[in-house]
Structures are given as structure tokens and as C-alpha cells.
Homo-oligomer: A and B are copies of this chain.
């Protein structure tokens, strides 16, 4: 048997004995249609298994309801929880998420944005990587909205959501000092994402303001294994640190495991550790890590709210930028509290 095609509004109209427009209006919120007509249409549609073709609707309305999520390393705890929150909020506001994987290669994000354009996505939300200026301009010109999450230094135009990374770094420094720590260190990856660097610079600057030095070590990707390597390097220095602020929870877990299992150090007695993101694992009792919570729900809410706003995508060529607060989640990896 040849693949059957989907039911069309025409067939529903015939079955219900009305015009095709009536069917269309029945499924268009706010359209003018008599209750009796609507009922007949609904019944016919139900019987035939009719579903509005959103491809065609998007074509007409010039509004597909699709929002592209562009993200790399989506298997990571923080990323996946953000994806979950965003898709959920999108669904709640009647939109739908399209997911595109990127890698660190050049043009990866640009290719993703091209794909978003092809599917006439209403908007794209970029969680990773740096789009090229020319392509973001193309998106905006075409009326496609753009949201950048945690991509601090990106060019203006898109809507940008960031955290108070530097201020958080300064708060955690205070906590370390109160705990009596004096030999400070910062564990980072070599990726150089704006938010990671903001935490590093914020921490170093806050320490400098107190006349303290920070041992900074960077290695590899922003993950657990890199954390182990960084810890090895830091803990074999002549001046062994007694406090390590990690750019990321994954790094922090690696740092803790290396400190405990390879260097037989006790956390927090001999070493205080803090991370960033508040991924689920930090609350597990093997880690019990003091960290900053990414306001995942708030980020998703703000991003989706922006998409729902009326007005052109580029009405204010400047774009807008908001900064959300990262709350300090106090657990057991720092003394005192």
C-alpha cells in the first residue's frame, strides 16, 4: 500500500458540509465562527484524524512557532537542565523547540543558524559558541529573534542574558577568607568562554583588592577529567593552595576527587572548594559542594518572555541585556558557614 497522505482541511470541510475557510477558522483562536459550525467541524476533524498542518500555517502566517536551540556538549548536566527548562517554557507558551548540536569547530554555530533560517524559526537561542556577526545580522534582518545565554562579549543586537559572575567570584572570595584560607587558587579550562573567564577575572581581581595572589591553572575542556589534571598541577606546587574556586561544577568534582583520592586531603579541613552551576551531582553526599546556582528557570522564563514580546526583532538596533543573580548554595566544601 502506498503511503497515505495526511488528512487536509478540504476533506474535513466536505465531511462537515461547510467551506474550507470554516475549518480553518475553527482552528484559529479568536476567529469568527458560529458555535454550531465549530461543533460540526470538530466532530468531522476528530473522526478523520485531522491535524492542522503547521508547515502550511507557518508559510501563510510567516511565523512557524519553531524556536531553535543551538548548543554544544548537550550531554552535560548544566546544559541538559537548561535545555529541559527552555523547552518546557517554550511548550507552555505554544512554541516548539528545534535542537541543533554544535561543536567547537569554526562555523559550527553559523551552520546551525542557517538551518534555523531554512526552517523559518521565529527565534534562535544560543547556549554555546560564538556566532559570526554577519550571520546574526542576517537573522535579525529577516525578523528572526536571537537570544544569547551566558555569551557575555557578544556583539549587540540580540537579547543577552548573563549572570553576575564577577560579583559571585567576589562573594566566594570573602567566604574563603572568612574560612581562614590564604593560599587561593582558581581552576579553569582552556575553553575561554566569556562566563568562565569572567569568573576567573572576577576572582583574581577581588583577591588583588585584598592584596592576595591567586594561582590560576587552566587545562583542557570544561569537564571532570580536566578538573583532576588542574588539581594535580595545583596541589603539586610548592605553595599548596588551601582554597580552590572552580569555574564550573564539573571541574570542581574532578578537583575534589583528585584532592581526596590522589592527595589524601580532607575537604573542607585541608582544602576548601567551590564551584559554579549547581548541577545535581553537587548535592550528592560524596561531593556536598558549595556552589552558585544557575537560575535555570529564570533564564528560561526571561528568554521565552522576550520571544513573546510584540515588536520587531530589530526595532532597537542595540538589543537588550539583562543580568541575573547567581545564588550561593552553601554546602559542606567550605569550612564554617
Within 8 A of B (CB), among A159-177: none
Interchain nearest-CB distance for A334 vs B (Å): 18
User: Are the C-beta atoms of A101 and B114 separated by less than 8 Å?
Assistant: no
Contacts of A268 in B (CB 8 A): none
Interface contact A55-B64, CB-CB below 8 Å? yes
Query: Is there an interface contact between A55 and B119, defined as CB atoms closer than 8 Å?
Result: yes
With CB as the reference atom, state the residue of chain B lying closest to A82.
Answer: B75
Contact A99 B69 (CB under 8 A): yes
Which of A59, A224, A286: most chain B CB closer than 10 A? A286
Q: Is the CB of A117 within 8 A of B6?
A: yes
Which B residues lie within 8 Å of A53 (CB)? 59, 118, 120
A327 shortest CB reach to chain B, Å: 19
For the complex, give the distance between the alpha carbons of A320 and B58 in Å: 34
Cα-based distance from A329 to B74 in the complex (angstroms): 23
Query: Taking A51-B114, A55-B55, A284-B253 as contacts, is the C-beta distance between A96 and B96 under 8 angstroms?
Result: no
Tell whether, in the assembled complex, residue A87 and residue B99 are in contact, meaning their CB atoms are under 8 Å apart: yes
Copies of the chain in the assembly: 2
Contact partner, A100, options B62, B96, B100, B101, Cβ 8 Å: B96
Instruction: Specify which chain B residues have a CB less than 8 angstroms from the CB of A141 in the assembled complex.
Output: 4, 49
Distance in Å: Cβ of A132 to nearest Cβ of chain B: 13
Give which listed residue, B2, B59, B143, B287, contacts A55 with CB less than 8 A.
B59
Scan residues 232-269 of chain A and give those whose CB is less than 8 A from a CB of chain B: 253-254, 256-257, 260-261
Query: A interface, by DSSP: helix, strand, loop or mixed?
Result: mixed
Give the chain B neighbours of A88 by CB distance below 8 A. Answer: 101
Number of interface residues of A (CB under 8 A): 66
Q: For the complex, what is the distance from the CA of A186 to the CA of B286, rounded to whole Å?
A: 22
Specify which chain B residues have a CB less than 8 angstroms from the CB of A76 in the assembled complex: 80
Q: Does A33 interact with chain B (Cβ within 8 Å)?
A: no
Asked whether, in the complex, the Cβ of B51 is within 8 Å of the Cβ of A118, the reply is: yes
B residues less than 8 Å from A6 (CB atoms): 117, 120, 142-143
Q: Is A47 an interface residue (CB 8 A)?
A: no
Instruction: Give the contacts of A129-148 with B (CB-CB under 8 A).
Output: 138, 141-143
Pull 13 A–B residue pairs with CB atoms less than 8 Å apart, ordered by A.
A49-B138, A52-B118, A55-B59, A59-B59, A74-B80, A75-B80, A80-B80, A91-B100, A96-B119, A97-B98, A253-B284, A253-B286, A254-B284
